[in-house]
């Protein structure tokens, strides 16, 4: 298994100095009993004893010769115990039967190399495979994803072996867990900051409905530029959430102002789309233009920050027009749903002021 992992690591050109702490020792033969052995009343200790007697011998008697005592050992001739095939043909005595059974019918054999030194962690034997990574020209996220898929396939051949990733891979997993908490904090904070000035539990969701489209835009940006998602990509998406709500916030606030002036919901929505089109478009384009030099830079320093810039730039660009479509539609849907529920609760007719003036 260690050799398979080392071979896989060599496939990555940016991975070097591959090492492991496994030092092979002597060849061993691992014997696993078949169900037939248990059905005959045999266990591993019984078979191990008979194999030991056949190969290494057992003391039949002691003979006294003068002052010396000689031990008489009985075992198979050397020609019958010098190869694995000889061992598989070894007859095993079974209690209650005069007919011995060949060992090959009672057990399976596996040749293994025992390590000269055993390392243990949590009372388990462990082997460590380590390697260094050229961070300047490689993406650890892509390499880890490839290794994860490889280990899942490799474990099918070694079902009794567990594995875990340590080092920077472990640190990245911890960072991703912290990033998840950061995501929840950002969403909760945005909702709270929107709910207070709007004095509404529903309108913040209208403003935040643009966030999923921004995330899709950031992912599309990575696909267009043939870049893998990395930790900085996720950081950029977090920052993107706070940026894209600005346009939808302004749009919803403008609709609310027009409704207070006496406009119907439909007129307020149509007016806001035309009035805020230019500010929304210019804000998004100028933001993307500001990130363009970083996206086009080919230096090593720029490669480190590019994932964040891609998430920000393409996320904002993708949501420019969608904001003017999705937010007004969600506003109308939310308004209709609210009045439908109120009319049903109050048992009144549906007096929809969607196209009439209402304050």
Assess contact for 265 and 252: CB atoms under 8 A.
Answer: no
Q: Is the pLDDT of residue 121 over 80?
A: no
Give the residue with greater pLDDT, 151 vs 141.
151
pLDDT the model gives residue 131: 81
- 137 pLDDT tier (thresholds 50, 70, 90): low
Of 178, 311, 291, nearest in space to 244 by CA: 311
Task: Give the bridge partners for 315, in sequence order.
Answer: none
User: Of all residues in the chain, what percent carry a pLDDT higher than 90?
Assistant: 0
Three-class secondary structure assignment of 1-70 = CHHHHHHHHCCCCCEEEEEECCCEEEEEEEEEECHHHHHCCCCHHHHHHHHHHHHCCEEEEEEEECCEEE
Confidence of residue 136 (pLDDT cuts 50, 70, 90): low
Mean pLDDT across 304-325:
86
Q: Are 228 and 146 in contact (CB under 8 A)?
A: no
Q: How far apart are CA 259 and CA 11, in angstroms?
A: 63
Q: Residues 8-17: what's their mean pLDDT?
A: 78
Regarding beta strands 107-115 and 119-121, do their DSSP bridges make them parallel or antiparallel, or are they unpaired? unpaired
- pLDDT for residue 349: 53
User: CB-based contacts of 174: which residues, under 8 Å, 6+ apart?
Assistant: none
Q: Determine the pLDDT at residue 71.
A: 83
Quick: pLDDT tens for 39-96: 888 888 888 888 888 888 878 788 888 788 888 888 878 777 777 777 778 888 888 7
The percent helix, strand, coil of the chain (3-state, each to 5) is 60, 15, 25
Is pLDDT of 196 > 70? Answer: yes
pLDDT at 99: 82
Kindly state the DSSP code that residue 209 receives in the 8-state scheme: T
Instruction: Please give the average per-residue pLDDT across 315-335, as a whole number.
Output: 86
The rounded mean pLDDT for the chain is 80
Higher pLDDT, residue 176 or 131: 131
Dihedral sign of CA atoms 82, 87, 89, 93 in order: positive
Rounded average pLDDT over 133-151 = 73
Category of 158 on φ-ψ map: left (φ > 0), alpha (ψ -120 to 50) or beta: beta
pLDDT of the residue at 359? 43
Sign of CA dihedral 32, 111, 120, 166: negative
Average pLDDT over residues 223-241: 83
86 Cα distance to chain centroid: 48
What is the pLDDT at residue 322?
A: 84
Task: Sketch out the chain's domains with CATH numbers.
Answer: 1-23+133-165 (no CATH), 26-116 (3.30.2090.10), 169-346 (1.20.1640.10)
Q: pLDDT (tens digit, 9 = 90+) per residue, 251-299?
A: 888 888 888 888 888 888 888 878 888 888 888 888 888 888 888 887 7
How far apart CA 317 and CA 100 sit, in angstroms, is 81
Look at 350 and 37; give whichever has higher pLDDT. Answer: 37
DSSP 159: T
- How far apart CA 50 and CA 53 sit, in angstroms, is 5
């Amino acid at each position: 298994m260690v050799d398979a992992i080392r071979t896989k690591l060599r496939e990555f050109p940016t991975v070097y100095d591959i090492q492991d702490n496994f030092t092979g020792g002597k060849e061993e033969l691992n014997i696993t009993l078949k169900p037939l052995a248990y059905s005959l009343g045999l266990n591993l200790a019984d078979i191990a004893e008979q194999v030991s007697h056949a190969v290494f011998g057992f003391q039949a008697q002691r003979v006294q010769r003068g002052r010396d005592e000689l031990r008489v050992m009985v075992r198979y001739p050397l020609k019958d115990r010098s190869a694995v095939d000889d061992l598989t043909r070894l007859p095993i005595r079974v209690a209650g039967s005069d007919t011995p059974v060949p060992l090959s019918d009672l057990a399976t054999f596996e040749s293994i190399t025992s390590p000269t030194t055993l390392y243990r962690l949590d009372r388990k034997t462990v082997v460590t495979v380590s390697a260094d990574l050229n961070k300047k020209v490689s993406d650890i996220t892509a390499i880890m994803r490839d290794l994860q898929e490889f280990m899942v396939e490799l474990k099918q051949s070694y079902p009794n072996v567990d594995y875990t990733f340590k080092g920077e891979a472990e640190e990245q997993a911890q960072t991703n867990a912290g990033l998840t908490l950061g995501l929840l904090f950002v969403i909760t904070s945005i909702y709270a900051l929107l709910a207070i000035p709007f004095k509404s539990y529903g309108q913040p969701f209208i403003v935040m409905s643009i966030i999923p489209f921004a995330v899709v835009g950031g992912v599309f940006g990575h696909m267009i530029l043939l870049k893998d998602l990395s930790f900085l990509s996720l950081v950029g998406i977090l920052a993107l959430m706070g940026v894209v709500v600005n346009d939808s916030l302004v749009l919803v606030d403008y609709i609310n102002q027009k409704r207070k002036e006496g406009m119907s919901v439909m007129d307020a929505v149509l007016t806001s789309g035309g009035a805020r089109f230019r500010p929304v478009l210019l804000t998004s384009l100028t933001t993307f233009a500001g990130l363009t030099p970083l996206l086009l830079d080919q230096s090593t320093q720029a490669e480190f920050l590019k994932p964040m810039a891609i998430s920000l730039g393409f996320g904002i660009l993708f949501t420019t027009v969608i904001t003017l479509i999705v937010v007004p539609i969600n506003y109308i849907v939310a308004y209709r749903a609210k009045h439908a529920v109120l009319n049903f609760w109050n048992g009144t007719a549906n007096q929809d002021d969607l196209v009439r003036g209402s304050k």
